[in-house]
């Protein structure tokens, strides 16, 4: 398959650049799950979506064409456009995760060492620890206080202001294996070097006093959720302006395109859903991960608001649905080709990527999509002029990856992974192709017209 830039018209190239400018601006200011959900709610309400909570409290009956969203714990959101067919006929779901690998601030983070005030962290998800050293980093999150108020935290994003970061060992003192031996206990942020006028814990006390001026007590970290992320804006990448470099594109690139796609759905045949979940990077666990009952509960509430609830109908709805597990895959890297099968793995600028299966070594822990489903998808996307590539991720014995596909498939529904190829996956700065981003957006829009009937 040829590079897509060879076939695009000038008009198509402009549409791609315009769409990706909006995406790039979004990435620059929405670096956590909570920030993504806040954005999604704001944009959904502009598009006429109503919160499911308000629908339930008002006793309003839902019907075809209605648009609703449901948020759970401020870190997961499901957005629905109700179809003319009954829910039990199935839904068309694009399901992405909006958490990304990072560092998290511990609940008792502050201490001092060697004349510095330090902040202790715990890494989240699969990272190469050494990649996070010697970079400008920022803090994003919330502090929940005992009086019931929540204080948002964003520090390190002012272009003219200070940042924080992790130090690294100079090469003159470094042994060959130091990077390999880098420990999670070494991920300690340097946040200050000024002493307070006290006898004990001078450097820690100075920072504590600064925090008090901002209305934050040291004990407030006990009920805080603060993430350490790369500081700075997403950037256009390449002399040709054909790519984007940014933090958190795994998997916000699929979350963003999913959300933008559902905003264009009007009066569909089948109920269409953009599902954006948390915790995929650590196994989809917890109340806001895909293994929770959040989504199933929301479907039951919507069915009840339509006056058509039964447990059996909820089960039929889930089983009869189809899902694009909207997640990224690794793109063939010209600097590191050996782990890839360059003939069958994903390449930049060849379109949205489909993985029939993910998992690792013998397809372990993977969803393996049914060929009948894939054939119908091919017909759907060919008719919609969507450019796509069907690939794997790495050589058979090299490794692999996982998504939420197998969790959705547990309901008995048809599921396949579909998303954007990425370079530098899980690094602080990831790279994507603008062509693939736009084709993924087109793919999700086309999928909302997919025919579910057997």
SS3 of 337-354: CCCCCCCCEECCCCCEEE
- CA of 440: how far to CAs of 123, 279, 366, in Å? 30, 22, 22
The reply to whether 330 falls in a domain is yes
**At 309, is the secondary structure helix, strand, or coil?**
coil
Residues 400, 436: one domain? yes
Same domain, residue pair 129 and 212: yes
On whether the CB atoms of residues 258 and 274 are closer than 8 A, the answer is yes
SS3 65: coil
What's the CA gap between 82 and 64, in Å, rounded? 5
Looking at 230, 264, 281, which one is the last position of a domain? 230
∠ CA 203-206-208, nearest 5°, is 110
- Do both 391 and 262 map to the same domain? yes
CA neighbours within 13 Å on the CB side: how many for 180?
A: 3
Give strand pairing partners of 243: 237, 433
- The answer to whether residues 172 and 302 belong to one domain is no
Specify the CATH number for the domain of residue 13: 3.40.630.10
Cβ atoms within 10 Å of 21's Cβ, excluding its own = 13
235 in a structural domain: no
CA 378 to chain centre: 26
Q: Is 453 within the bounds of a domain? A: no
**Same domain assignment for residues 159 and 254:** no
Residue 242 lies in a domain: no
- Do 142 and 157 lie in a common domain? yes
Angle at which helices 10-29 and 249-262 cross, to 10°: 120
pLDDT score of 402: 80
Same domain? 60 vs 119:
no
Residue 326: closest CA among 403, 243, 437? 403
Q: What pLDDT was estimated at residue 180? A: 58
Same domain (yes/no): 94, 126: no
Report the first-to-last Cα separation within the chain, whole angstroms: 31
Question: 114 lies in which domain range?
Answer: 102-230
Q: Is residue 274 a part of any domain in this protein?
A: yes
Q: How many residues does the chain have?
A: 454
Q: How many domains does the chain have?
A: 2
Please tell me whether residues 133 and 71 are part of one structural domain.
no
Give a yes or no: residue 96 inside a domain.
yes
- CATH number for the domain that contains residue 128: 2.30.250.10
Is 278 inside a domain boundary?
yes
Q: Tell me how far CA of residue 19 lies from CA of 8, 36, 195, 261, 397, in angstroms.
A: 15, 18, 48, 12, 38
Q: Is 348:410 a contact under the CB 8 Å cutoff?
A: no
Q: For position 178, what pLDDT does the model report?
A: 56
pLDDT by 10s per residue, the chain, length 454: 789 999 999 999 999 999 999 999 999 999 999 999 999 999 999 999 999 999 999 999 999 999 999 999 999 999 999 999 999 999 999 999 999 999 999 999 999 999 999 999 999 999 999 999 999 999 999 999 999 999 999 999 999 999 999 998 888 877 665 555 678 898 999 999 999 999 899 999 999 999 999 999 999 999 999 999 999 999 999 999 999 999 999 989 999 999 999 999 999 999 999 999 999 999 999 999 999 999 999 999 999 999 999 999 999 999 999 999 999 999 999 999 998 989 999 999 999 999 998 877 777 778 889 999 999 999 999 999 999 999 988 888 877 778 999 999 999 999 999 999 999 999 999 999 999 999 999 999 999 999 997 6
* Residue 237 lies inside a defined structural domain of this protein: no
Q: Among 230, 262, 284, identify where a domain stops.
A: 230
If asked whether residues 301 and 371 sit together in one domain, one would say: yes
* 408 and 273 inside one domain: yes
Query: 43 - beta bridge partners?
Result: none
Of the three residues 230, 260, 276, the one that is the final residue of a domain is 230
- Specify whether 96 is located in the same domain as 176: no
Taking alpha carbons only, the member of 417, 75, 42, 56 closest to residue 259 is 42
């Amino acid at each position: 398959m040829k590079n897509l830039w060879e076939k695009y018209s000038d008009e198509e190239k402009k549409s791609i650049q315009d769409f990706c400018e909006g995406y790039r601006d979004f990435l620059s200011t929405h670096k956590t799950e909570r920030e993504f959900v806040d954005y999604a709610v704001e944009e959904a309400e502009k598009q006429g979506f109503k919160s499911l909570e308000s629908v339930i409290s008002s006793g309003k009956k839902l019907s075809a064409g209605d648009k609703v969203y449901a948020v759970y714990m401020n870190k997961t959101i499901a957005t629905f456009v109700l179809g003319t067919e009954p829910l039990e006929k199935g839904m068309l779901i694009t399901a992405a995760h909006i958490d990304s690998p990072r560092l998290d601030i511990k609940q008792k983070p502050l201490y001092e060492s060697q004349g510095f005030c330090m902040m202790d962290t715990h890494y989240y998800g699969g990272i190469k620890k050494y990649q996070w050293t010697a970079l400008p980093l920022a803090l994003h999150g919330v502090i929940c206080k005992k009086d019931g108020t929540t204080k948002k935290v964003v520090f390190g994003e002012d272009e003219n202001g200070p940042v924080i970061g992790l130090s690294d060992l100079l090469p003159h003192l470094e042994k060959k294996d130091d990077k390999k031996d880098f420990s999670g206990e070494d991920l300690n942020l340097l946040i200050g070097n000024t002493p307070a006028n006290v006898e004990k814990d001078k450097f820690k006390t100075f920072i504590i006093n600064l925090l008090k001026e901002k209305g934050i007590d040291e004990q407030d970290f006990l009920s805080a959720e603060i993430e350490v992320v790369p500081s700075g804006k997403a950037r256009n990448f390449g002399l040709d302006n054909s790519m984007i470099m940014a933090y958190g594109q795994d998997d916000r690139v699929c979350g963003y395109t999913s959300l933008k796609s559902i905003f264009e759905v009007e009066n569909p045949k089948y109920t269409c859903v953009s599902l954006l979940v948390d915790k995929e990077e650590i196994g989809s666990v917890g109340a806001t991960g895909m293994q929770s009952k959040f989504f199933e509960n929301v479907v039951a509430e919507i069915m009840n608001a339509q006056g058509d609830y039964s447990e059996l109908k909820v089960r039929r709805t889930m089983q009869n649905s189809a899902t694009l597990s909207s997640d990224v895959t690794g793109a063939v890297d010209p600097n590191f080709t050996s782990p890839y099968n360059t003939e069958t793995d994903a390449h930049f600028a060849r379109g949205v990527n489909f993985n029939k299966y993910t998992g690792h070594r013998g397809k372990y822990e993977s969803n393996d999509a049914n060929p009948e489903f894939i054939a119908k998808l091919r017909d759907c996307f060919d008719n919609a002029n969507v450019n796509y590539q069907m690939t794997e991720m790495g050589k058979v014995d090299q490794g692999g990856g996982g998504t939420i596909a197998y969790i959705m498939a547990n309901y008995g529904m048809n599921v396949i992974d579909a998303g954007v190829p990425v370079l530098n996956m899980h690094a602080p700065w990831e790279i994507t192709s603008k062509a693939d981003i736009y084709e993924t957006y087109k793919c999700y829009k086309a999928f909302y017209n997919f025919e579910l009937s057997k």
